[in-house]
Structure 1
Amino acid sequence: MERRCADSQVKGVSTGTTILAATFDGGVVIGSDSRASMGGEYVSSKTINKVIQVHDRIFCCMAGSLADAQAVTKAAKFHLSFHSVQMETPPLVISAASVLKELCYKNKDELQAGFITAGWDRKKGPQVYVVSLGGMLISQPVTIGGSGSTYIYGYVDAKYKPNMSREECLQFATNVSSPPCRQKLSSQSLQRGSTMDGTGPEWLSEEVKTGTTIIAIEYDGGVVLGSDSRVSAGESVVNRVMNKLSLLHDKIYCALSGSAADAQTIAEMVNYQLDVHSIEIGEDPQVRSAATLVRNISYKYKEELSAHLIVAGWDRREGGQVFATLNGLLTRQPFAVGGSGSSYVYGFVDAEYRKGMSKEECQQFVVNTLALAMSRDGSSGGVAYLVTIDEHSTEEKVILGNDLPTFFDQ
C-alpha cells in the first residue's frame, strides 16, 4: 500500500471512468460513475463527482487526469460567469463547449483530460458536445467516453433513439452505466447523474484525427467540394457524420483533414480574419486571400500543426478557384484531393478528370471519387458531404451511404 501511494504521487490521479450524455425530447441527461484511480491500480476515491456544473443549465463530465480536468472546468466556469455578466444573458451551451475547446487546444501539450459538455439554452434547446484532448469540438445527440465505454458501444448504437422521453432517456443512461460497472474494474462504485456527463476511450485520451477523403474541383462558373464524414482516433470511430466542409466566407469553403483540432482552429482563425478583411475593403474577399491566410498560418506553425486544408470558392475577379495548402505550400489547381483516402483514388482522378466538365459532371466526379476512397480506406466512411458554389448560389447536399454509387467488387 505504501508503494502504491508513493507511485500515485508521481502518476497523479486519473479518472478511469465511464461517462455518458444523451439528448431527449426537450432536454439532456448527463452522467458518470464515481471512481477515481491512481496509476490505474490504487482507488483514491469511490464517490467522486465527475459531473461538474459550469453554469445554470450547463454541465460537463470529465475523464483523464482529474487534476487537469478540475483546473480546466474551474477556468471555464470563471469565463462563463464573466461572459454572462458582460452580455447580461445566460451563455449558450456552444459557448461553454467553445471555452473548454480553447482551453484544451491552447494547453494540449500539457493537459491529459477530455470533456463532454451538455445543457439547454433558449436558442437551440438541448445539446451535447464532445471536447477531446487535442481541443477538437463536435456535436452529437449521444456520446460515451472513458475506459468503460469500450464495453457499451454496441449497446448504445443499438438502443439509443432520438426524441426519447425524459423517463426513457434516464433509463437508457442507467442501463448504459451498469454493464461497465460490472465489467471494467476502474469504472465502478456509484453512478452519478444530473441529466449530464463526459470522457472517451481513445478520442478523449488521444488526439483526434480526421482520417478522411477530401476533394475540390473547378468547373466553368464555380466549384464543387466534397468530403466523407468519418472522424477517427486510432482504431475508434469518434463521429460518423461530421461535416468537414467548413464555411470561411459567403462563397468560400475549406475541406479539412489531419488533426481535427488543428484544422478546426485554422478554419476559425481564417473565418474571423476574412470577416475583418471584408469590412476593411468594403467587399467580399477573394478566394486567393482566404487560401493565403490558410497558407500563412500553416507555414508559421508547420512544426506544431498537423492539418491539410483545401480552399475553394468563387469571386467576381477569377470565378471558381481551388487551392491546395499542404504544409504552407500554396498552389492553384483545377482539382485537388487530400486525406488518408486520397492515395487510393489518385489514379482514378488523374484518368477521369477532363477540362470543361459541367456542374453536374463535376458533382458526379466528386461523388464517385469519395465512394471509391471510402470503400478502400479504413479511416474514411459515413456519408458524403457536397458543397457547390457559383455566382448565384451556394448549395449544400448530403448523400447517405446507401445512396453512394457502387463499383466492381461491391
Structure 2
Amino acid sequence: MNLITKTGTTIVGLKYKGGVVLCADTRSTSGPIVADKNCSKIHKITENIYSCGAGTAADTRRVCRMAGKEANLFKSKYNRTPRLTHCIATMVQHLHNYGGHISAALVVGGFDDKGCHLYEVHPHGSSMEVSFTAMGSGSLAAIAMLENGYREMDKEEAIALGASAIEAGILNDLYSGSNIDVCVITTGGVEYLRNYKVVGMRNNIPSLSYPLSSVKILKEDVFKYVEEI
C-alpha cells in the first residue's frame, strides 16, 4: 500500500517591528520513511503573502495554490491587491466545507495596506490572528521556545528566535528534520533564506577501517569460472 507523503513538520511564524518571519523545517515523510530531506514548506500565495504548511504535502500545496489563484482573480477583477484577510477567508471557507478532511494546517504571514499580519489556520477551518505561533508535530517544543523568548525584536533577533524554535522542534520530533528555511516579509519586499541552517550535521566522523585479521575465515574454496566478454 502506498503511504501518503506528509510533511511531518515544525512550522513557526512571528511578528517583529517592521515585518513577519516564517520558518519551517525541510523533512517530509511517508510513514516511517524519510521521503524528502530538503522539501520546501514555505509557499508563495501572492507577492506579499506567504504560507507555511503542515500536514499532508499535497493538501498544503493545493490549498495555498488555490488561495493564490483566488487572489489573482480578485486583482484582475477589482484592479487592486487583495488584503491578507481575503486569502484567509478563502482558505477558511474551503477547509470548513470539507470538515477537517483536508490535512492542511497553515501559518500565513504578509502585509497589505493595513500593515503586517500573521494568522494560523487549522484543518477544520478555524483561524486566528496571532503575534507568534507554531504548528505541526514538533510544535510543542517550538512554542516553548517562542513563549520564552518572544519580545520586542529587530529583524535579526526575530530570525534567530524563529530558527531556534524550529531547531527545538527538529531535535524533539522524529518527523521534523534536516534544514531550516526562513522567509522574511516586510513592506520593502520578501527575503527567502533557503537552507538558512543545517541541524544535526555530523562533522569529523572518522572512517572505519577493519584489519583483515578481524574477520575469522571459516572455510576456503577455490573454483574455476568462465569470463564472458
| Alignment TM-score > 0.5, same fold | yes
**How far has the Cα of 1:302 moved from its partner?**
2.3
Aligned mate of 2:63, from 260, 266, 291: 266
* Alignment partners' CA distance in 1, 2:50 and 2:174: 26
Q: Give 1:233's aligned residue.
A: 30
Q: Give 2:176's aligned residue.
A: 380
Which structure would you say has the larger RCO, counting Cα contacts within 8 Å and 6 or more residues apart? 2
Q: Give 1:353's aligned residue.
A: 150
8 Å contact 1:290–1:311 — kept in the other structure? no
Q: Which runs of 4+ in 1 moved over 3 A?
A: none
1:368 matches 2:164: yes
Q: Percent identity?
A: 25
**How far has the Cα of 1:345 moved from its partner?**
2.5
TM-score norm. by structure 2 comes to 0.83
Q: Give 1:103's aligned residue.
A: none
SS of 1:305's equivalent in the other structure is coil
1:300 matches 2:111: no
1:278 matches 2:68: no
SS of 2:40's equivalent in the other structure is coil
Q: Give 1:212's aligned residue.
A: 9
Q: Give 1:94's aligned residue.
A: none
Q: Which runs of 5+ in 1 are unaligned?
A: 1-111, 113-204, 405-410
8 Å contact 2:42–2:51 — kept in the other structure? yes
* Alignment partners' CA distance in 1, 2:3 and 2:200: 33
SS of 1:381's equivalent in the other structure is coil
Please list, as runs of the form range in 1=range in 2, the aligned pairs for 1:68-87 lying within 5 A after superposition.
none
**How far has the Cα of 1:341 moved from its partner?**
0.5
* Alignment partners' CA distance in 1, 2:197 and 2:131: 27
1:337 matches 2:130: no
* Alignment partners' CA distance in 2, 1:282 and 1:309: 27
TM-score norm. by structure 1 comes to 0.47
* Alignment partners' CA distance in 1, 2:49 and 2:64: 11
* Alignment partners' CA distance in 2, 1:361 and 1:322: 18
Which amino acid in the other structure matches residue 68 of structure 2? Answer: N
Q: Give 2:186's aligned residue.
A: 390
**How far has the Cα of 1:403 moved from its partner?**
9.0
| More helix as a share of residues | 1
8 Å contact 2:51–2:108 — kept in the other structure? yes
Aligned mate of 1:324, from 108, 120, 135: 120
* Alignment partners' CA distance in 2, 1:282 and 1:216: 30
**How far has the Cα of 1:358 moved from its partner?**
1.1
* Alignment partners' CA distance in 2, 1:226 and 1:234: 24
Which amino acid in the other structure matches residue 170 of structure 2? Answer: M
Please list, as runs of the form range in 1=range in 2, the aligned pairs for 1:11-410 lying within 5 A after superposition.
205-317=2-114, 319-326=115-122, 327-354=124-151, 356-398=152-194, 399-401=196-198
Q: Which runs of 5+ in 2 are unaligned?
A: 202-229
SS of 2:92's equivalent in the other structure is helix
Q: How many residues align?
A: 199
**How far has the Cα of 1:286 moved from its partner?**
0.9
**How far has the Cα of 1:238 moved from its partner?**
0.5
SS of 2:53's equivalent in the other structure is strand
8 Å contact 2:9–2:54 — kept in the other structure? yes
**How far has the Cα of 1:401 moved from its partner?**
1.0
SS of 1:345's equivalent in the other structure is helix
Q: Give 1:139's aligned residue.
A: none
**How far has the Cα of 1:303 moved from its partner?**
4.0
8 Å contact 2:67–2:87 — kept in the other structure? yes
* Alignment partners' CA distance in 1, 2:197 and 2:17: 27
Tell which deviates more after alignment, 255-264 or 294-303. Answer: 294-303
Q: CA distance change for structure 1 residues 351 and 400 in 2, over 3 Å: closer, same or farther? A: closer
8 Å contact 2:100–2:125 — kept in the other structure? no
- Alignment RMSD: 1.5
* Alignment partners' CA distance in 1, 2:132 and 2:199: 26
